[in-house]
Chain A
Amino acid sequence: MKNGENAIRFENVSKAFGKRKVLDGITFDLAAGGVYCVLGRSGTGKSVTLKLMIGLMKPDRGTIRILDREITGLDSRELAPVRAKVGFLFQYAALFDSITVGENIAFPLRRRGERSDEEIRRQVEEHLDAVGLEGNYDKMPAELSGGMRKRAGLARALALRPSILLVDEPSSGLDPITAKEIDEVLMGLREKHGATLVIVTHHITSARRMADEMLVLDNGRVVARGAPAELETSEVELVRELFRAEDVA
């Protein structure tokens, strides 16, 4: 997919949990190669939006296209080729806790079954180096700090060299210095792999550092969208509050 073409398209997508409507007819598209940060208050559907993008949740209404393929009605098996091109870094990394860090990263490579054990080991070491976790192949996930887990989760998400990387709250639960390091790792990987990045975050500082464009969600809708510099002068109250909150912090 060439830069500038649509990597992700949401059209009139709605999602509710019981009587609570989280997304209400949301429509947007994200061009390939860009870095997009999704912001908003807690419970406004940011993480739900990410999970819809990879088919972990189904919308109640509307259509979702990922890399030119409509995924709305696909089952797990039909989604597999799309998911192989999309990496997902979960909020708490979601490492498989019964296997080592190295085996976590090797897992998607082994599943694809294309490489020998030596080649897989070499690839895993490379991915560990790229996220600053060299020498941690044989550690168990429980032995890692929060920041290291995020890095390991990132290495696993990138193992199949995805075209799109979805990142859920990369800096949550981390101190500002580690959060900045994770942002830098993400930006470095973006430079290296050229993937489309969609990052859900509460931290406007991180968003300003990384985003080509920001999308602000409120009441199930996109209430503002634009480059960080454009949104600084936004008339939307929530956006102004977000930027004010950063000034106070």
Chain B
Amino acid sequence: MTNVIENAGRSVRTALAGAGDMVVFGLRALVSAVRPPFELVETLRQIQLLGWRSLSLIATSGLAVGVVMSMHTRSSLERFGAESMIPTVLGIAMIRETGPLVTGLLSSGRLGAGIGAELGGMRVTEQIDALESLAVDSFKYLVVTRVVACMVALPLLTIFFNVSAIVGGWAAETTVSGMTFGYYYRNAFSNIGFSDLIPSTLKTVVFGFLISSISGYLGYNASGGAQGVGQASTRSVVLSAISLIVANVVMVKFILFLFPS
């Protein structure tokens, strides 16, 4: 019994120490991002790699989510004869919550796994040591550039997801009711204000930070060969997704506090 308690205590202590290290790692990345020298070329390359190459996933998912949401919304609203509200409801749901959250979760899989595995692979094959030996600050070159790239890419991907979802929603609706795109588009955005669009899109900057700093930490500190790389990749996805969901709850509360309407 004592052993069980001791082991549990040790696990909790290790987990807390790991979480603390991760927070320090993330904050260090933020501080380094605003201090010269700026790795501009590498940051742009990472935006292209992490952002541009996620577009097909985000576009496909957005279209599919838009179609499904439209079908669900129709089946609910037609009971009340309120089918004309479908674009408005879909627009609000997508822009306020579904778009940012789904984009964040998709990115935690696509980007989190990628960053964790890439940096983990570089660590165990001594490529990170090789960078240091060539007088390159590996933290800045590998981690800070990815953190900045994710913080820039996530809001853009969210906007792209929202647009794709609204197009998907219209496609589903027009096949049923023949609704024109112009009508659908106007109504989708008719009740969207600043407080709906900007805070919910900007919160994905935080999602980008969480995904990149967590997966960056796990990859940068990976050890133990191929198994270590695999663990870094898997844990990157799991921890990024969990932290993103928890952070989302806190941020939604905060946004509703600032914009109570």
Chain B interfacial residues counted at CB < 8 A? 14
| Bound CA span A76–B126, Å | 16
Chain A interfacial residues counted at CB < 8 A? 27
Question: Which chain A residue has the least Cβ–Cβ distance from B137?
Answer: A76
Interface string of A115-145 (1 = CB under 8 A from B): 0000000000000000000000000000000
Among A54, A81, A96, point to the contact of B127 (Cβ < 8 A). Answer: A96
Interface window among A29-37, A84-92, A182-190, A235-243? A84-92
**Residues of A close to B126: CB separation below 8 A:** 90-92, 94
Report yes or no: B133 in contact with A88, Cβ–Cβ below 8 A: yes
Report yes or no: A97 in contact with B130, Cβ–Cβ below 8 A: no
**Residues of B close to A91: CB separation below 8 A:** 126
Report yes or no: A54 in contact with B133, Cβ–Cβ below 8 A: yes
B132 at the interface (CB under 8 A from A): yes
| Bound CA span A84–B136, Å | 9
Interface string of A133-162 (1 = CB under 8 A from B): 000000000000000000000001100100
**Residues of B close to A160: CB separation below 8 A:** 134
**Residues of A close to B130: CB separation below 8 A:** 88, 90, 94-96, 156
Question: Which chain B residue has the least Cβ–Cβ distance from A51?
Answer: B129
Report yes or no: A81 in contact with B133, Cβ–Cβ below 8 A: no
Question: Which chain B residue has the least Cβ–Cβ distance from A85?
Answer: B135
B24 to chain A, nearest CB (A): 15
A77 and B137 in contact, given A94-B126, A94-B129, A96-B127 (Cβ under 8 angstroms): yes
| Bound CA span A206–B219, Å | 36
Among A56, A76, A81, A97, point to the contact of B139 (Cβ < 8 A). Answer: A76
Residues on B lying within 8 angstroms of A by beta carbon are 121, 125-127, 129-130, 132-139
| A/B interface sample: 8 pairs, CB < 8 A | A55-B132, A56-B132, A76-B137, A79-B135, A84-B135, A92-B126, A94-B129, A95-B127
If A90-B126, A90-B133, A94-B126 are given as contacts, then 17 extra A-B residue pairs at C-beta distance below 8 Å, sorted by A number, are: A56-B132, A56-B133, A76-B137, A76-B139, A83-B132, A83-B133, A88-B129, A88-B130, A88-B133, A92-B126, A94-B125, A97-B121, A97-B125, A107-B134, A108-B134, A156-B134, A157-B133
